[in-house]
Amino acid sequence: MKTLLIVYHTHGAKTARMAEAVERGARQALAEAEAEDQVRVLVKRCLEAGAEDLLGADALLLGTPENFGYMSGMMKDFLERAFYPCEGKVEGRPYAVFVGAGQDGSGAVASIERIVTGLRLRKAHPGVIGLRELTPEVLERCEELGATFAAGLALGAL
């Protein structure tokens, strides 16, 4: 059984809705492929997540609002707690990022990428940035992100 870990933070609703869409897409893809017994989808808020979750994950999707041109403080806290226990133990595992932002989002993406590059995680998807009001199109892209990761893990093609 492989594990797809989705870790996210939200102050309000936006990134939470994006995380729900990512999870929905992952579960739908697994149901369609009749592969629910092959991939476990684990969703955690940053506060609940720890190094053991990352160590047990075969793939990782990280979601955060952009705050002050950076990832949220809670996402940074999660990565700070996980970094040293995971260093050298998660190399090559695929990851992608989804960001809920006002008008930019690139700083949140770059700040996460800088840290997970230190863990030698492998970027497997360009990710999703949702600007301003969430649109059905952005939520659809979140679903596709979840589906890509879940199906990729099930098929061993990620």
Ligand X SMILES: Cc1cc2nc3c(=O)[nH]c(=O)nc-3n(C[C@H](O)[C@H](O)[C@H](O)COP(=O)(O)O)c2cc1C
Residue number, 4 or 129, with CB nearest to ligand X:
129
DSSP-derived secondary structure for 25-41: HHHHHHHHTT-TTTEEE
User: What stretches of the chain show up as alpha helix (H) in DSSP?
Assistant: 14-32, 51-55, 73-86, 106-118, 136-155
> In the set 94, 100, 127, 146, which binds ligand X (CB under 6 A)?
100
Nearer to ligand X, 15 or 148 (CB): 15
Cα torsion 17, 112, 123, 89: sign: negative
**SS3 (DSSP) at 70:** strand
**Does position 53 bind ligand X by CB under 6 A?**
no
Binding track, positions 119-148, relative to ligand X; x by CB under 6 A: ------------------------------
Per CB under 6 A, 92 contacts ligand X: no
The one among 4, 5, 6, 14 contacting ligand X by CB under 6 A: 14
